[in-house]
Amino acid sequence: MELHELVIEMKVLERRLTLYEEKYGVLSEDFYAALMAGKLARYDDYDETRTDFSRWKGLYETWQRRKAAYTAQITERDVAEAFRFQPVY
């Protein structure tokens, strides 16, 4: 995936993550850490949270993979060369 495509996809994912962060009042990073530590098991009994948590986890893991790919690509390149510059005539 090209660098600019990664940026676009990460921003789309961030917008979707924000909906869960606002709904549940915690940042995705903190939600994910608590989920992986097994601290959210008491919410498994509720269909809505179980569905939300599954989707939220998937979105966050996808964002993490895109971020890792972006970081790997940007460290290999000169940032000035990575710009998608399209002059206006």
Which pTM was predicted? 0.87
Q: What is the pLDDT of residues 26-44, one digit of tens each?
A: 999 999 999 999 999 999 8
DSSP category for residue 18: H
User: Quick check: helix, strand or coil at residue 85?
Assistant: coil
**Amino acid at residue number 52:** D
Residue 57 scores a pLDDT above 70: yes
Q: Can you give the C-alpha Rg of the chain in angstroms?
A: 17
Work out the mean pLDDT of the chain and round it to a whole number.
Answer: 92
Q: What is the pLDDT of residues 75-84, one digit of tens each?
A: 998 888 777 7
3-state helix, strand, coil in the chain (%, to 5): 80, 0, 20
